[in-house]
Amino acid sequence: MKLTKAFFDDIRELIVSARTTVARGVDLVQDHTNFEIGRRIVDQEQMGKDRAAYGKEVIKALAEKLTTEFGSGFSARNLASMRTFYLVYQGRYQILQSATAKSAGTKKLQSLTAKSSSHQKTQTLSGQSEIFQSASGQLATHAIHTSPFTLSWTHYVFLLGIKNPDERSFYEIEAARQDWTVRELKRQFDSSLYERLALSRDKAGIRKLAKKGQLVERPQDLLKEPLVLEFLGLGEHARYSESDLETAIINRIEHFLLELGKGFLFEARQKRFTFDGDHFFVDLVFYNRLLRCYVLIDLKIGRLSHQDLGQMQMYVNYFDRHVKTKAEKATIGIVLCKKKNKALVEITLPRGANIHAREYQLYLPSKEVLQQKLQEWAEEAGGE
């Protein structure tokens, strides 16, 4: 018997969705459990006169007993992380208590669902399916929507190592919103994403990063500097051409999209257009679905020149007049260069131009250097 594609796809989507929900639910249960273990360890510590020493003894003894009964996962180091987890996020305890109280209502819903199914056996198959989907949907999503946590325990273990609470909050929001794996989270942290975004914002913008993550509402929200392209595998002092750089980006396009940020879709490389009998080629063409506009990138391996800016201005003008629709917003042009001249950019481009020059580097930046720059910038801004 040959199944229709629509029928199979419908069943497949149901299974994939269920597995995703279950996996997410398991992560949240582990978060809740580890948070509660941490809370009880802290409460137990209050009973000792020398809390620091007593706390270490509590963790050591607890680790031995739990490991004997439950196996790996409850080492002294892991229990210490659970304790830290509670101390860092203890402000969410009230939310967790509320979610726990609501779970009692969930159990009643389960009981009612079981009774309902036993009394509804005479219903049609489709009718039973609707009852099951409605009840199970409420049960499956209840924990997710009421949880004060959004990531896996492994994500939180990494986040606990970030001392700056604003920076930690930013990475938690972005990891959940963009569904970063732990590996992607580590890469974004190592590339100093928070500092690079913060350096392009005012103080109010920095506070918004910590509370809401990166919001893309205008072209400036997409920009950060430098763009870090360590994943291309091009040595900082190796000889390479603009074509080599472009090819390396295409070969690592998923990594490049992650570095560019939110909402980017890749459209073309060496996009040709003809004007007045001459052919022109844009190195890389992207579309940002959040801003609903084209984003053109021209690659330069040397120092930025005014000719580079003029060329990009022509590309942007062409797209605005001949490519974009009336419903789409103005095209953004980015000249990605090894070294830019801020004064040259300011004198060459008219105010309000949708053209931007940004530097790139082929190695991970020093977080200490960027943090120092951010501190100096904040002090200068505060003195104005």
Tell whether pTM > 0.75.
no
Under DSSP, the state recorded for 8 is H
Dist CA 378 CA 167 (whole Å)? 15
Nearest to 300 by CA among 259, 247, 251, 357: 357
Could you give the C-alpha distances from 157 to 2, 152, 171, 204, in angstroms and in order?
A: 48, 9, 13, 29
Task: Give tens-digit pLDDT for 93-144.
Answer: 877 776 666 655 555 545 544 454 444 444 444 443 443 344 344 444 555 5
Contact, 259 vs 229, CB < 8 A? yes
Contact, 144 vs 28, CB < 8 A? yes
Task: Locate 273 and state its tokens.
Answer: 């257009």
Whole-number average pLDDT of the chain: 82
Could you give the C-alpha distances from 263 to 124, 157, 205, 221, 293, in angstroms and in order?
A: 44, 28, 20, 12, 10
In terms of phi and psi (left: phi > 0; alpha: psi -120 to 50; beta: otherwise), the region of 192 is left
Could you give the C-alpha distances from 361 to 86, 231, 239, 366, in angstroms and in order?
A: 38, 11, 14, 12
Contact, 41 vs 52, CB < 8 A? no
Q: What are the E-state strand segments in the chain? A: 227-228, 264-275, 278-288, 293-303, 332-339, 355-361
Q: Supply the pLDDT for residue 120.
A: 46
Tokens 């007049």 correspond to 321
Dist CA 53 CA 164 (whole Å)? 27
Q: Supply the pLDDT for residue 138.
A: 46
Q: How many CA atoms lie within 13 A of 140 on its CB side?
A: 15
The count of other CB atoms within 10 Å of the CB of residue 135 is: 17
Q: What angle do CA 266, 269, 272 make, to 5 degrees?
A: 120
Tokens 């796809």 correspond to 9
Residues of the chain with pLDDT under 50: 109, 112-114, 116-140
Q: Supply the pLDDT for residue 56.
A: 84
Q: Which residues does 263 contact at the CB level (< 8 Å), separation at least 6?
A: 216, 288, 289, 290, 291
Q: Supply the pLDDT for residue 137.
A: 44
Pairing of strands 278-288, 227-228: unpaired
Q: Supply the pLDDT for residue 376.
A: 76
Q: Supply the pLDDT for residue 201.
A: 77
